[in-house]
Structure 1
Amino acid sequence: MKKILLIILYISLGHHLFSQGLLLDGFMQPKGEIVSAIGFSHEFYDTYYVGNVATQNPNLGTIKTNSVNLFLTAGITDFLNLTVNLPYVTAKPTAGFWSPQQGFQDLSIFLKGRLFQTDQLGNGNLNILGGLGYTLPTSNYIADAPISIGHQADRFEFRLISQYYFENSFFIMVQGGYLHTSNVETDRGFEVEVPNSFDWTIRSGMNIGFLYTDIWVSQQNALSGTDIGPGTPFPTNAVSFLRTGFNLYGDLPFISNLGLSAGMGFTLNGENVGKSTRISTSLIYRLSYLSKN
């Protein structure tokens, strides 16, 4: 299982998701190992929260968001990993006259390091990891539009991860993060403050032969911000949510180092966010860029 890095991406998708960052997993890639992936996700909702009140808008219909994600993580050392992600996002409504948006969204660059590890603790081992990330926009998408794919804001993230890995290949991971977001200049020509936030995630899973599976629950809480105006989201909105989902991964037969993952996620409730369902899949390839000798 240590050879597998499941590409579980919680990438900003559509105007209701882009305040959440890239959640890291609790596994480290050894020095000289690279995991690369290309992923596709489809997300949709016809109900969204204005503040914390669920509503629908016939002028929008169903908001559909598709994303193609390019992902890479590399073992710089056995104790330090580099992760890079870049999504191309398309968002559009099924009704009304609002224009769709598409383009490369935000580039995320993370360093993840092992802070503490036990070789044996009870029936397994414990890893404590830390993550430091920076995200920046990569295209001129419009942030203050009813259908948007991002905030046009720079963001710094700080993450702490604790994972206990049992001898029977079962694991439990708990992660917390703080997201500090810069102010942005809107298309209307004035600067606004994008709320900072914190989040937490609990994930549990295991290996069953060649198959990996997990379930997770995640919550984000905005530390400030406004509510959605008359049908129009805005970068100052306070975006909070509670989500859950599951993931599956399996190595493809007869093709060395190639695997396929699939997953679903569901928004249970939230604030200024879509009550969305997300379906995702990724093709994952592992390789070595350093000789083992």
Structure 2
Amino acid sequence: MCLRTTCFFLFLFFYCHGAKAQGPISGFMPRPGQLDAAYTYSQEQYDQFFNADGDLQNRRLTARSSNLFLEYGADAKTALVATASYLDHDQLNRGWQDASLWLKYRNERTEQPLGFHNLITAVGLSFPLSNYPTDNPAAIGRRAATFHGRLLWQYEARYGWFVHVQSGLDFQFSPVAQAAIPILVRGGIGTSRYYVDAWVEHYQSLNGNPDNGNLAAGTGSTWTRTGGTCYVPVTPFFGAFVGGAFILGGRNIGKATRWNVGGVFRLGAK
């Protein structure tokens, strides 16, 4: 199993609770007619919270989430992506949180002697799946509707390693208008036996925002975060992965540590 057939798993890590910056878009495209389906379980917790001024306050919260992901290769250059999350903070704050739908298009793939350059654009829309409460510190989200735009460049070496840079714009148009710019850099290596990566992201809100005290960070919060993923193929059609991440700093976000495990099924692969 080469890098191209394993690395689609890496972006599943980013589609975990709280990872609303870059969305579930990787630099790899599924084959036409191929469906990738994944389940991820995550736990995230913090004891301190960065307020609107970037100062740490003592707050404690533990969140668990189950995340569903689908990506379908429509043709050689186009893919459709869908996601959904179920979050559990406590008895009051639990339920289906948000879903997203994405259209992903490969603008260019340039072959060179030692590897490939990929240029991909994607647009998406995220929206709430239930009427969950938003007026307490343990709320699972903001019931926001947000447009996402992404542009990414990726270099894939024939020897298995890759580098990836991604940015774009998130525009929340409901319940209030807010905008933010995500920046993501990651690198990794994949072989027939394993895949590992490391990454760092910065998410910059373009709007001033009062202290929300809410773990479900996204548009309206600013943060810097780093983490990594490890994936192992079990069969040609199934693999398992583990990942972790932690917040380095920010505003309106908990100083959280997150761990996740999951499994991925591939259907229609040839």
- TM-score, normalised by the number of residues in structure 2: 0.91
Deviation, 1:19, is 5.3
Deviation, 1:144, is 2.5
Deviations 1:88-112, CA, capped at 9 Å, x for gaps = 01114xxxxxx64011111111111
Equivalent residues of 1:33, 1:287 under 8 A apart: yes
Equivalent residues of 1:178, 1:198 under 8 A apart: yes
2:245 corresponds to which of 253, 265, 271 = 265
Q: How does 1:9-158 map to 2 (within 5 A)?
A: 9-11=13-15, 13=17, 17=18, 20=21, 22-51=23-52, 52-57=54-59, 62-92=60-90, 100-120=92-112, 123-158=114-149
Indicate the RMSD between aligned Cα atoms, in angstroms: 2.2
Kindly tell me: are residues 72 and 19 of structure 1, through their superposed partners in 2, closer, same or farther at Cα, counting changes over 3 Å? Answer: closer
Equivalent residues of 1:225, 1:236 under 8 A apart: no
Deviations 1:261-284, CA, capped at 9 Å, x for gaps = 110011000101000000011110
Where do 5+ consecutive residues of structure 1 fail to align? 93-98, 185-192
Deviation, 1:238, is 3.3
Aligned residue type for 1:214: D
What does residue 188 of structure 1 align with?
none
Normalized per residue, which structure has more strand?
Answer: 2
**Distance across 2 between alignment mates of 1:206 and 1:236:** 29
Kindly tell me: are residues 86 and 232 of structure 1, through their superposed partners in 2, closer, same or farther at Cα, counting changes over 3 Å? Answer: closer
Structure 2 SS opposite 1:118: strand
Deviation, 1:194, is 4.8
Kindly tell me: are residues 216 and 232 of structure 1, through their superposed partners in 2, closer, same or farther at Cα, counting changes over 3 Å? Answer: closer
Equivalent residues of 1:144, 1:234 under 8 A apart: no
**Distance across 2 between alignment mates of 1:116 and 1:103:** 40
**Distance across 1 between alignment mates of 2:236 and 2:12:** 21
Deviations 1:16-46, CA, capped at 9 Å, x for gaps = x375352411000010111101110000001
Q: How does 1:206-245 map to 2 (within 5 A)?
A: 206-228=189-211, 238-245=220-227
Kindly tell me: are residues 19 and 90 of structure 1, through their superposed partners in 2, closer, same or farther at Cα, counting changes over 3 Å? Answer: same
The count of corresponding residues between Structure 1 and Structure 2 is: 265
Equivalent residues of 1:210, 1:250 under 8 A apart: yes
Aligned residue type for 1:247: T
What does residue 260 of structure 2 align with?
280
Is the radius of gyration larger for structure 1 or structure 2? 1
Kindly tell me: are residues 288 and 113 of structure 1, through their superposed partners in 2, closer, same or farther at Cα, counting changes over 3 Å? Answer: same
Q: How does 1:185-196 map to 2 (within 5 A)?
A: 193-196=176-179
Deviation, 1:83, is 0.7
Deviation, 1:9, is 3.5
Where do 5+ consecutive residues of structure 2 fail to align? none
